Amino acid sequence: TEGPPSCPKGCDRCSEYNGCVKCKPKLFIFLERNDIRQVGVCLASCPVGYFGMRNPEGNNRCTQCKIDNCEACFNRNFCTKCKEGLYSHSGRCYVSCPPGQRTANETMEC
Amino acid sequence: AGVRVDGSGDAEAGRASCPGRCRCELDGLLLRVDCSDLELRAVPSDLSVFTSYLDLSMNNMTLISAGALSSLHFLQELRLPGNDLSFIPKGAFAGLYNLKVLMLQNNQLRSVPAEAFNNLHNLQSLRLDANHISGVPAGSFSGLRSLRHLWLDDNALTEVPAEALSELPALQAMTLALNHIRHVPDHAFSALGRLVVLHLNNNRIVSMGTNCFHGLHSLETLDLNYNQLMEFPTAIRSLRHLKELGFHSNKIQSIPDHAFTGNPSLTTVFFYDNPIQSVGRTAFQNLPELRTLSLNGAAELNEFPDLTGTRSLESLTITGARITSLPTSVCEQLPNLQLLDLSYNQIQSLPSFSACESLQKLDLHHNEVEALEENTFTGLTSLRFLDLSWNRLSTVKPNGFSALPALNRLDLSSNQLSSLPLSGLQTLTHLRLAGNGQLMELIAREDLPRVRWMELPYAFQCCAFISCDRKGGSSWEKEEAVEAAGRDAAVLSSQAEPDWEDFLMEFEDGPKPQHAVHCSPTPGPLRPCRHLLG
């Protein structure tokens, strides 16, 4: 079933000023910055620097990764893809591997 | 940066050909192809062999036929979320030797495909969340020797797929959250020696094998929140590297002695919203990395816990218990304490807090403290907020507050004070004394030079802080009118009356340049400044 005609794709409820305010089940709401406004859009997967937090009520949201030098994360504290040239170890990103860790250059991991 | 290629399908360009209506971008020698949201029913047939990224999200695909992608040897990321895939045949991903990321969330799968993922040797991230998966056949993850991240949350699993998981030696992060799992059996994760993060929140877990976490040598984060656990999960004992543990919103009634004895690396533990009645006295011992401990409503807890070896604690909250006294060594045990909240207990006397040099906030309201000694607060050079309201304070020694250079909020309301030593309170900005009926002495303004907000027992005591004889004398009427209007407004919105929390916010902005003092009860015609009772 499609949401109201004026709502963006994947959206169940929206407002003219704030875009989507409630997405269809299973999708994530992401607050896109538009000048001083934040406009809600509905995504199947969250953009770079964000991860999808699901909850039983279905208010799934894109939430910011809190790890330095991280492009994609599993949760707030565990990075799944570090920025180019950095090594990953236990979900964190390093310029060089911590002491005692060997460098695996092919996968950029310690 | 990539070079955009239009969707006209330029065959000669070979590498640069972009399937109709898709949006493509050259990325060095490879091609990034975005065919999302085009109402496609099948994988485009004219994909370039040099495609490294393919987004087929939010289309209407119900099937991926075997071999449909087999020429894409350079493909590293394949996105298929938001389609209607209910079945994926063997061979659907054949030929994808370099695939690293495969997204299948938000489809209609009822089971993990038994063979479709086999031998994707370089696959690192597999998303299967938000489907209707109730089973994970043994062998379905066979050959995924590089898989690091697995999403199976928001499905219909009723048990941990232990056998299938045993083929994922490189797994580092997994979520099984938002499923219907009721029991975690022993050795459920025993092959996952490199797992760092495990989410089991929002299931129906009632019980756990005492060895269910056996083998998780690298686990740092364990999320058991929002389950039906009745017993403390003693299985955590084997998790030596555990840093973050959550089991809030369960049905646990007690925390045993030595509960975290196997978790010396614990920095954070959340267990609120459990009907915890009793706590073993040694439950929180030897947690050298623990920063915050919060325990509310443990009604059977009548002794302050022994926190030996938990020296890094910065915030300790134990409210709603039956603690009657504190050990004299409380500050020696907790030298880094910044916040101590022991409100709603039955504490009758206080030790000296002088060794708690970092203490900034001390909340002891709703206890049974009767007296404050000379040395109770000596040495607390960082203390900014002290709440002793709703106690039985009748005696405060002359220098009881004399050594508190940073104190600016003091709440002594609802006690039995008849006098108050002001020595040392020059830094106060907020003072509450209401509810001390025998405290009738006048407070001199110069004793509290920086005060801005006061609640005193009697209106006449406010006169020193609000100049009573205003020009024209009409200010009473105006003030009465304003106050009456204020009261009406208060009926409509309970937040019209400034309360303590508002002033906590105001405190963050720092002292107001213009030194207006809010003092209540406000003197007025019915509550004259001259104290009629002499």
Residuewise pLDDT in 10s, chain A (110 residues): 445 567 888 999 998 888 899 999 999 999 998 888 889 999 999 999 999 999 999 899 999 999 999 999 999 999 999 999 999 999 999 998 888 888 888 888 88
Neighbours of A5 (CB within 10 A): 5
Q: How crowded is residue B180: how many other Cβ atoms within 10 Å of its Cβ? A: 14
Instruction: Answer yes or no: are the C-beta atoms of B520 and B455 closer than 8 Å.
Output: yes
| Rounded to 5°, angle at Cα B413 from B410 and B418 | 105
At B515 the pLDDT is 66
CB count in 10 Å sphere of residue B284:
25
* Cβ–Cβ gap A91/B127 under 8 Å: no
φ and ψ at residue B459, rounded to 5 degrees: -60, -40
Q: What's the pLDDT score for residue B286?
A: 95
CB B353 within 8 A of CB B332: no
Q: What is the pLDDT of residue B54?
A: 98
N residues, chain B: 534
* Interface check B416 vs A, CB under 8 A: no
Nearest residue of chain B to residue A9 (CA atoms): B37
| B interface test, pick of A23, A26, A30, A109 with most B CB neighbours within 10 Å | A26
Contact residues on chain A for B218, CB-CB shorter than 8 A: 90
Give per-residue pLDDT as tens, B224-280.
Answer: 999 999 999 999 999 999 999 999 999 999 999 999 999 999 999 999 899 999 999
Smallest CA–CA distance from A56 into chain B, residue: B178
- What pLDDT, on a 0 to 100 scale, did the predictor assign at position A16? 85
Query: Which residues 231-250 in chain B show a CB within 8 A of chain A?
Result: 244
Q: What is the distance, to the nearest Å, from the Cα of residue A9 to the centroid of all Cα atoms in its chain?
A: 19
Taking a C-beta distance cutoff of 8 angstroms, is the pair A68, A57 a contact?
A: no
Strands A70-75 and A78-82: antiparallel
Q: pLDDT for B186-210, tens place per residue?
A: 999 999 999 999 999 999 999 999 9
Residue that the structure tokens 């991230």 belong to: B125
Q: How far is A56 from chain B (nearest CA, A)?
A: 7
Q: Which residues, 6+ apart, have CB-to-CB distance to B374 below 8 Å?
A: B397, B398, B399, B400
Exposure b/e, A32-68, CB count within 10 A at least 16 = b: eeeeeeebbbbbbbbeeebbbbbeeeeebbbbebebe
The greatest distance separating any two alpha carbons of chain A, rounded to the nearest whole angstrom, comes to 58
Q: Which of A54, A75, A77 sits opposite B129 (nearest CB)?
A: A54
At residue B491, the pLDDT reads: 33
Is the peptide bond prior to B521 cis by the omega test (within 30 degrees of 0)? yes
Mean pLDDT by 10 residues, chain B (534 residues): 48 64 93 95 94 96 94 97 96 96 97 94 97 97 97 98 97 98 98 98 98 97 98 97 96 96 96 91 96 90 93 95 94 95 97 94 98 92 97 92 93 96 92 96 90 94 72 37 41 38 47 70 73 45
Contact A45 B175 (CB under 8 A): no
User: Which residue of B154, B172, B202 is in closest CB contact with A91?
Assistant: B172
State whether residue B147 sits within 8 Å of chain A by CB: no
Candidates B54, B128, B154, B226, partner chain A, best to mutate (most A CBs within 10 A): B154
**CB under 8 Å, gap of 24 or more: what pairs does B280-283 form?**
B280/B254, B280/B255, B280/B256, B281/B257, B281/B305, B281/B306, B282/B257, B282/B258, B282/B306, B283/B255, B283/B256, B283/B257, B283/B258, B283/B259
Tell me the three state secondary structure of residue B496.
coil
Q: What is the DSSP letter of B524?
A: B
- Phi-psi region for residue B384, left (φ > 0), alpha (ψ -120 to 50) or beta? alpha
Cross-chain CB nearest to B197 (options A26, A44, A91): A91
Within 8 A of A80 by CB-CB distance, chain B residues are 124-125, 148-149, 173
Closest CA to B377 of B411, B402, B398, B394: B402
Q: Alpha carbon of B443 to those of B10, B372, B381, B431, B448: distances in Å? A: 89, 20, 25, 12, 8
Handedness of CA B178, B113, B117, B104 (dihedral sign): negative
